[in-house]
């Protein structure tokens, strides 16, 4: 096993072969639930042709 030191320190993986390159990239959590778009749904129901725009 040849774990990249920084990854090893993070304890995210327990085994790593070939030492994956350590090149972190942010992956922000998306907002899916906090605000329901009732108006969007009403608009869709009242103007169904929006779907094919």
Partner 1 sequence: MTGLQRFFAFLFCVVVAGSATALAANVLFADGVHWIDHVRLALLGISVAWLAWGASLALNGLLAPSAEPAPGTDERGTPQARTAVLVPVYNEDPTKTFSHVAAMIRSLADQGASRQFDFAILSDTNREEIAAAEQYWFGRLQGEHGNMSEIFYRRRAANTGKKAGNIADFIKSSGAIYDYLVILDADSLMEGATMIEMVRRMEAEPRLGLLQTLPKIVHARSWFGRAIQYAASFYSPVFARGLATTQGATGPFWGHNAIVRTRAFAQSCGLPELKGRPPFGGHILSHDYVEAALLSRNGWIVRLDTDLEGSFEEGPENVIDYAKRDRRWCQGNLQHSRLLLAPGLRPWSRFTFLQGIMAYLASPMWALFLLASIAAPVIIGEPNYFPEPHRPPVFPRVEQFQALILLAGIAGILVAPKLLIVAQGALNGRNAGFGGTLRALATTLLEIAWTSVLAPIMLMYQARSVVQVVCGADGGWPAANREADMVSLKEAWDASWWISVGGVVILAATMAFAPEILLWLLPVVIPMTVSPLLIQVTSWRLSTSAQGGTSLFTCPQDFTPSPVIKAQESILARWRRQDDRLPPGGLNDELAAFVATPTSR
Tokens representing 9 are: 């320190």
CA dist 21 and 7 (Å) reads: 9
Find the shortest distance in angstroms from Cβ 47 to partner 1.
9
Report DSSP state, residue 30.
Answer: P
Choose, by CB under 8 A, the member of 5, 9, 21, 46 that binds partner 1: 21
Residue 46 lies near partner 1 (rule: CB under 8 A): no
Residue 30 lies near partner 1 (rule: CB under 8 A): yes
Q: How many residues bind partner 1 (CB under 8 A)?
A: 39
Residue 12 lies near partner 1 (rule: CB under 8 A): yes
CA dist 47 and 52 (Å) reads: 10
């Amino acid at each position: 096993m040849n774990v990249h030191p920084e990854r090893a320190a993070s304890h995210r993986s327990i085994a790593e072969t070939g030492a994956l390159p350590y090149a972190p990239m942010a992956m922000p959590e998306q907002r899916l639930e906090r605000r329901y778009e009732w108006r969007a749904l009403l608009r869709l129901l009242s103007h169904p042709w929006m779907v094919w725009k």
